[in-house]
Amino acid sequence: MSLGWIILIIFLIVLAIFFRGASSLLPFGREHRISITEIELVGFRLLPPCAFSHRIAGRVINKSTELTLTEMALEIIILDYADGNIIEHLDKVIWLDVPPGQTRDIVEYVDLSSTRQPFGTIPWQYRIIYAKGR
């Protein structure tokens, strides 16, 4: 291996270490987990299809006293109306900006592939998988 390659590799390692340490100074490098007990979802509902996608809508309350909620993931389960069996399961990541102690209304598209039932009778469940903030 030539001296030029060795110098290039050392330079790249030093650069990587520098940026890894400097990421704590950047606003997008300071993500933290927010406990899901600090996030409250109110009035979440499944809306009629729009442009071939369903929408979920509701209010998100950030009960954290320190962190702005920037991302959360929901597990969405669609159930069969007749027997209650799971007919679809998906995870939906939602990016938002809810400062500590504040509330935001959201509407998000979700692509459901198995909407065999007429609107209004689709039983569904949801839960927060994780939440992140800065």
Interval 2-43: pLDDT, tens: 888 888 888 888 877 766 655 444 455 567 999 999 999 999
Residues 47, 8: one domain?
Answer: no
3-state secondary structure of 20: helix
Residues 1, 45: one domain?
Answer: no
3-state secondary structure of 6: helix
Angstrom distance (rounded) from CA 101 to CA 68:
9
- Total domains in the chain come to 2
The string of pLDDT tens digits covering residues 33-86 is: 999 999 999 999 988 777 667 889 999 999 999 999 999 999 999 888 888 888
Residues 25, 77: one domain?
Answer: no
Angstrom distance (rounded) from CA 61 to CA 40:
5
**Domain of 125: which CATH number?**
2.70.50.40
Residue 100 has pLDDT above 70, yes or no: yes
The string of pLDDT tens digits covering residues 109-120 is: 988 876 555 555
84 is in which domain, residue-wise?
Answer: 31-133
DSSP annotation of 38 reads G
Residues 56, 45: contact at Cβ < 8 Å? yes
